[in-house]
Chains A and B, each alone.
Chain A
Amino acid sequence: MSLYKKELIFIKTRWIVMLIIMIGLAILTVSIKDTLVNLINMPAVQEQLKNIPKGLQSQIQKISNFSYYSYSQWFDKTFIEIAAVLAIIFSFSAFSKEIEDRTIYILHGRSTRLEIFSAKIFWGIIACVISVLAGGLVYLAVADMLKYSLPVSQTMIWTVRTVFGTIFLYSIGVFFSLILKDQVRAILADLAVFVGIYVLGIFAQTRFLGLFDYMGSIDVLRGSGVGVIQIVILSLLSFLLLGFTYFKFKNMDI
Chain B
Amino acid sequence: MEKAVEIYKLTKVYDNKVKALDEISFVIPFGSIFAILGPNGAGKTTTLKSILGLIKPTSGKVTTLGIEPFPDGVKGASFVPEEKEMYQWITVSKMVDIFSSFAPNFSIDKFKKFADKFELTMDRKIGELSQGNRTKLYMSLAFSQNVSLYVLDEPTWGLDPVMRKHVLDTIREMAIDGKTVIYSSHILSEVEEVCDGMVILKSGKIVYTGTVDDLKDKTGNDLSDAFINLTKDGEKK
Query: Which residues does A use to contact B, with CB under 8 Å?
Result: 1-3, 5-6, 9-10, 101-103, 105-115, 250-254
By a CB distance below 8 angstroms, the chain A residues around B104 are 110
Beyond the given pairs A105-B81, A115-B102, 10 more chain A to chain B contacts, judged by CB atoms under 8 angstroms and listed by A's residue number, are A6-B98, A101-B88, A103-B85, A109-B74, A109-B75, A110-B103, A111-B102, A253-B14, A253-B56, A254-B55
Given that A101-B85, A103-B87, A253-B14 are known contacts, is A109 also in contact with B52, CB under 8 Å in the complex?
A: yes
By a CB distance below 8 angstroms, the chain B residues around A105 are 54, 79, 81, 85
5 interchain residue pairs of minimum CB distance: A109-B73, A253-B55, A2-B102, A112-B72, A102-B85
By a CB distance below 8 angstroms, the chain B residues around A107 are 102
Looking across the interface, which residue of chain B has its beta carbon closest to that of A253?
B55
Asked if B136 CB lies within 8 Å of chain A CBs, one says: no
How far, in angstroms, from A87 to B75 measured CA to CA in the complex?
33
Give chain B interface residues in 88-104, CB to chain A under 8 Å.
Answer: 88, 90, 94, 98-99, 101-104
Given that A1-B101, A2-B101, A253-B54 are known contacts, is A113 also in contact with B81, CB under 8 Å in the complex?
A: no
Looking across the interface, which residue of chain B has its beta carbon closest to that of A109?
B73
Asked if B86 CB lies within 8 Å of chain A CBs, one says: yes
Interchain CB contact under 8 A, A108 and B73:
yes
By a CB distance below 8 angstroms, the chain B residues around A114 are 72
15 A-B residue pairs with CB within 8 Å: A6-B101, A6-B102, A9-B90, A9-B98, A102-B83, A105-B79, A106-B86, A108-B79, A109-B52, A109-B74, A110-B104, A111-B102, A112-B72, A112-B73, A114-B72
The B interface is mostly helix, strand or loop, or mixed, namely loop
How far, in angstroms, from A132 to B86 measured CA to CA in the complex?
32
Interchain CB contact under 8 A, B98 and A108:
no
By a CB distance below 8 angstroms, the chain A residues around B202 are none
Interchain CB contact under 8 A, B85 and A113:
no
Interchain CB contact under 8 A, A254 and B54:
yes
Distance in Å from the Cβ of B143 to the closest Cβ of chain A? 14
By a CB distance below 8 angstroms, the chain A residues around B145 are 110
Distance in Å from the Cβ of A22 to the closest Cβ of chain B? 24
